[in-house]
Structure 1
Amino acid sequence: MTEPLYLDLSDKCEFEATVERVADDSIVLDRTLFYPEGGGQPPDEGTLSADGQTWRVTDVQKRDTIYHAVDGDPPAAGTAVSGELDWDRRRAHMRYHTAQHLLSALLLAEYDAETTGNQLYADRARIDCAYDRFTEADLADITSRMNELIERSIPVEWYELDRDVAEERLDPDRTRIHLLPDSITEVRIVEIGEYDRTACAGTHVSNTAEIGRFEATGRETKGPEEERLSFALSS
């Protein structure tokens, strides 16, 4: 089973690993910083190098373990490789993911709008929530409130918590722990100061100030009492 280094070392972009096995055009490593697609966050991209040869990592997926799709003939099992993430891409995903958590907490607190889905990209993101309809005034208010929170430089932390403890202490409307398989007994919690705590296996910045400027860029109706809110970040 691949050791997911990205869970604790979100700010690192280089690592050493060994190829455990090859599966078609993908390889399994004993450890990795490459984040596999999930939770609305796209997979990391980057390179693996060994013995003067370099492979581009084009996709990362988690099934029974973590699979790294590479271009060309993959390195053989037992090969020691050096990995390097596309840091600009990873950094963008971290900023957008933390912004999404902050936005979800704000929408729940101020609009009673529970998040039902989200999708992040390197240059934009969207969030779906249970709400009738946002107005232009709402978008302006959300933009202003988000930037106020970001400018507070709130620390962001992540840690493991026993599932029973998490279910007892945390807001079920934010954590949605009941949706996790019963086999998961330890839950990774991402905490934004006293403002938000929720279960998440994604990567995040360590302080809201790193998010940058927030702008709610649009909204659309996605169904009865469901809205999609789009947003973008700038430096």
Structure 2
Amino acid sequence: MISAGTAFRFLEQDLLLLPQKAIYWAQEKALIVADVHFGKVGHFRKAGIAIPRNMEQDDLALLSDLIYEHQPEKIIFLGDLFHSDMNNDWDWFVLWRSQFPKLEIILIKGNHDIISDKHYTSLGVILHQQLSIGPFLMLHHPLTDPNEQADGGYVLCGHLHPGVSLVGRGRQSVTLPCFTFGKHQAILPSFGKFTGKVAILSRKSDKVFGVLKDKVVAIS
């Protein structure tokens, strides 16, 4: 049984912030995921860098677990689904897709999504540069000016692989992946295991949720 996550009522929508670094949106029966970077392992191995092969399969297995647990009707990927040019890891994605033929898959294209559109459309993946659904505008890149509201709704995006730095009493520090909800946009943590995270500056008015191994906790 996957941990339940943290319920967050926002803009009259019911969001479940999951420790697997995804959001389940109840009203749309949708999983929202950013920055998976499938194929990054294959990309590095092709360059002669030794990376464990099972990292890509772990990410796909985790996505499958979330689908079985929450029974979404769609998955919305907020860009950088695949890391670069097509490599052998694409075959794993094709196999995974075949297990969920009725699942609607939407990709908001990111800067790393350079594989030809025809390969995605052949798998029934719907492509957009941006997409408005309900009160939200799905993007890959964050707003250039976070103080200005975007046309189309409150932004959900990725790209930055955000983290929040915490300092303990003994001055130990740790950086956790995080969900950051600001005035006009929310930035999701990167889903992929092989992606890393960067501590970002947040405003006092931002709502920040840190991601631990099996839970999501409100930090500010």
Q: Structure 2 length normalisation: TM-score?
A: 0.27
Higher relative strand content: 1
Larger Rg: 1
- Output the TM-score relative to the length of structure 1: 0.26
